[in-house]
Amino acid sequence: MRTILLAPDHKRWNRARENAGIQNVEGVMFTEQRKEELATALKEKMLRNEFKLPYDRPLIKELNVERYELTKTGRIKFTHPEGNHDDRFWATALAAYAAEKEPKPGPMITKVF
């Protein structure tokens, strides 16, 4: 079984993993570098026409309003306009990123804490 746990920091992620009693788990921390990797995987899959989306207005809106800027350190910082959300954007990017990685045997379960 493959499980992905999402949490805002390592302490909460470890606590969630321990509470769930899961041993074979892959953690994803949403750092600026990881967000860049996630968004890049989504963009590349879309450009190669390998990622199909249903017509879902809230999802399409989130994909279209996400903004990015280049920081002084050369990293990309992602933001969204005030009053908007980006949860669907990052969930979609995480799905595209996970699809790029070598799958581990067994079913995959995702839990968000």
pTM beyond 0.75 = no
Structural domain that includes position 60: 2-112
CATH (domain of 83): 3.30.420.240
Comparing 11 with 110, which gets the higher pLDDT?
Answer: 11
E runs forming strands in 36-98: 67-70, 76-79
pLDDT band for position 6 (50/70/90)? low
Looking at the structure of the chain, the number of domains it has is 1
